[in-house]
Amino acid sequence: MPRPANPLVRESLLDAGMTLFHSQGFNAVGIKEITDRAGVPKGSFYSYFDSKSAFAAEVLKKYWAGIVRRHTAVLRDETTPPARRLTLFFEALTREHAEHGFALGCLVGNLALELSDDNREARRELTVIMDHWSRLLAACLADAGGESSVAGSDDVVDLASMLIESWEGAVMRGQIDRSSVPYDRFLATSLPRLLGARAPAVQGRRAP
C-alpha cells in the first residue's frame, strides 16, 4: 500500500526548486539537486509531481502567491491615489530585488525566457500569472476614473500590460548590470510617463 503524500515534503521540494531555479535557472538544475536540497530521496519527487515542467508550474504558482500576499494589498488601498499605489507597489518589488543585489531578477520573467514550448504546464502557469498581474494593475488603474494623475489610455488592461513589460525590461537590465539604475529609471521616468503623470522622486538609491 503506497504511503500517503506528505504536504511538508511537497513544500520542501517547492521551496528548494524556487531557490535553485531563481539562482541557477530551470535547465541548469536537475531533479537530484532539488531533492538533495529538500533533503528527500530522489525517487520521492515523482510521488508529488508528474514532471519537471509540472513541478516548475507549481514553483511559479507559489512564487506568485508570495508576491500577491506581500505586495498587492497596496493596490487596493482606496485611501491612496491609484498612481501612488502603483508607485508603492513597484518600489516594494524593487526593495525585494535589492536584497539580492539585483542579481536574481524576477522568477516569472526568468522562466518566461528560458522555458521551451515542451514545458507546457509551466508555460500555461506563466500565462495565468501574467493575466492575473495585468488584472490587478488594471483594477487599480480603473479606480483612477477621471483623475488627471492617470491618463493616456482608454484600455486600462493594455496600460497594465505595458507597465509590466516595462518593469520586466528594467529587471532584466538590472540583473545584467547588478545595478539599481534600471529600477530607478523605471520608477522615475518610465512609470510616470506611462501613467501620464509625474511620480514621486526616487530617493536614496544609487548604482552599486
pLDDT in tens, the chain (208 residues): 345 578 899 999 999 999 999 999 999 999 999 999 999 999 999 999 999 999 999 999 999 999 999 999 999 999 999 999 999 999 999 999 999 999 999 999 999 999 999 999 999 999 999 999 999 999 999 987 655 445 444 589 899 999 999 999 999 999 999 999 999 999 999 999 999 853 444 443 333 3
Element (H, E) at 55: helix 52-71
CA distances from 158 to 98, 125, 166, 198 (A): 28, 20, 12, 20
Note down the domain range covering 147.
52-195
Say yes or no: 96 and 141 in one domain: yes
Say yes or no: 40 and 4 in one domain: yes
Say yes or no: 151 and 188 in one domain: yes
Say yes or no: 66 and 131 in one domain: yes
Say yes or no: 121 and 34 in one domain: no
Question: For residue 208, is it within any domain?
Answer: no
Using left for φ > 0, alpha for ψ between -120 and 50, and beta otherwise, residue 193 falls in: alpha
Question: For residue 33, is it within any domain?
Answer: yes
Say yes or no: 71 and 153 in one domain: yes
pLDDT of residue 3: 56
Question: For residue 203, is it within any domain?
Answer: no
Say yes or no: 38 and 131 in one domain: no
Question: For residue 206, is it within any domain?
Answer: no
Direct distance between the N- and C-terminal alpha carbons of the chain, in angstroms, rounded to an integer: 57
Q: Would the pTM of this model clear 0.85, i.e. be above it?
A: yes
Domain count, the chain: 2
- Alpha carbon distance 151, 53 (integer Å): 40
Q: Domain end: 49, 68, 88, which one?
A: 49
Say yes or no: 89 and 37 in one domain: no
Contacts of 160 (CB under 8 A, 6+ apart): 133, 134, 135, 136, 137, 138, 141
- Alpha carbon distance 163, 152 (integer Å): 13
Which CATH number fits the domain that encloses residue 12?
1.10.10.60
Say yes or no: 19 and 75 in one domain: no
Say yes or no: 169 and 77 in one domain: yes
Based on the number of CB atoms within 10 Å of its own CB, is 97 exposed (0-12), middle (13-18) or buried (19 or more)?
buried
Which CATH number fits the domain that encloses residue 69?
1.10.357.10
Question: For residue 202, is it within any domain?
Answer: no
- Alpha carbon distance 16, 156 (integer Å): 37
- Alpha carbon distance 140, 82 (integer Å): 6
Instruction: Please count the other Cβ atoms lying within 10 Å of the Cβ belonging to residue 159.
Output: 22
Question: For residue 95, is it within any domain?
Answer: yes
Say if residues 137 and 86 touch (Cβ distance below 8 Å): yes
Say yes or no: 38 and 69 in one domain: no
Say yes or no: 43 and 56 in one domain: no
